[in-house]
Structure 1
Amino acid sequence: MLKVVNRLKPASKRLVFAACLVAAGACTPIFKNHGYVPPADQLAEIKVGVDTRDSVVETIGAPSSAGLVKDSGFYYVRSRVRHYGPKRPEVVSRELVAISFDQRGVVRNIERFGLEDGYVVVLDRRVTESSVQNRGFLRQLLGNIGNFNPANIPGAN
């Protein structure tokens, strides 16, 4: 019986060592990078008051997002997120380069914002809600039968 216990000790040591390695690996932070911000040397090639939207796209590439208004700017956003075990992901750094244009489409200003400057750039994604509520195709198609009113037809008086 003593020989069996002596043989299990090295195996149990290996098992404990493997468990410690797995536990240490689970606590290693994982970093994920999202987005693109052009480097400073490429941004230096853009001349305020000279370059246009097309020349900016040729020089540094298409933006990750653009303004909703036609004459607004280009926005290049890069985020670095740390995932650490069971904790919530944490934004470690976020950098935003905003290039604004005038009404003619010429570069008016180039600005750089980030967490390290004290600016918190909150990215928000909004999704329009659908008015369709868990209805199948036929139920949607046939749902208005019985709700027909001839008085609602345009031109019928």
Structure 2
Amino acid sequence: MGKRGLKIGSAGMVLALGALVSGCTSIKDHRGYIIDQALVDSVQPGVDNRESVEKTLGRPTFASEWGNKDWYYVSQTIETPAFRSPRTQNQVVLRVQFDPKGNVIDVQRRGMEQVARITPNGDQTPTLGRERSLLQDLFGNIGQVGAAGMGGSGTGSSGSGGSGPNGS
């Protein structure tokens, strides 16, 4: 019975370890436009226009706000390891440039070289202005009531001669 109990115990440990390891796998997710290279290759500068590009590739992920209204198609593969933040594993940005008449000038494809990995410095964002404590924020305006423009000068309190919205 002692040997059999040891085998059952070790089998239970292997199963528990397997369950723990399987819970630590990464999740891969695709976000954005699904690129079909044959369709992208069919968009030709000088031949296609906005309407034909929309029929071929669909609506863009977003369009530029300034200058020529370039269209962008963004495709990302994201991997999220267990208990960690998601990371971009692959990214493709397809940029379709148009002339002022709406004809295709150029089609550019960019990859991971455009991804910027930013590491914040601490958990605070530096700002301009004064440093104030919680008590200063709560009680900082005490004594400020009745300050300039609040009718304390005596000229506007009787209702005559004032230039404010209520005659003060």
TM class, shorter-chain normalised?
0.5 to 0.7
Answer yes or no: is 1:31 the counterpart of 2:25.
no
CA positional deviation for 1:20: 1.2
Q: Give yes or no for the alignment of 1:85 onto 2:82.
A: yes
Question: How far apart, in 2, do the equivalents of 1:152 and 1:122 lie?
Answer: 53
CA 1:75–1:150 in 2, change beyond 3 Å: closer, same or farther? farther
Q: Which moved more, 1:59-68 or 1:35-44?
A: 35-44
Per the normalisation by structure 2, the TM-score is 0.62
Aligned to 2:107: 110
1:121 aligns with 2:115: yes
Aligned residue for 1:54, secondary structure, equals helix
Which ranges of structure 2 fall in alignment gaps of 5 or more residues?
118-149, 151-161
User: Normalising to structure 1: TM-score of the pair?
Assistant: 0.66
CA offsets per residue over residues 9-39 of structure 1, 9 Å max, x none?
3442332122111122123222111111432
Judged with a 3 Å threshold, the aligned counterparts in structure 2 of structure 1 residues 150 and 70 are, in CA distance, closer, same or farther, namely farther
Q: Is the 2:35–2:75 contact (alpha carbons within 8 Å) kept by the matching residues of 1?
A: no
How many Å separate the matches in 2 of 1:103 and 1:151? 51
Contact 2:71–2:95 (CA under 8 A) maintained in structure 1: yes
Query: What is the percentage of aligned positions where both structures have the same residue?
Result: 23
Whether the 8 Å CA contact 1:100–1:107 is kept in 2: the answer is: yes
CA contact (8 A) 1:76 1:96 kept: yes
* Structure 1 residue ranges without an equivalent (≥5): 124-146
**Between structures 1 and 2, the one with greater helix share:** 1
| Greater alpha carbon shift after TM alignment, 105-114 vs 32-41 | 32-41
User: Deviating runs (4+, > 3 A) in structure 1?
Assistant: 5-11, 149-153
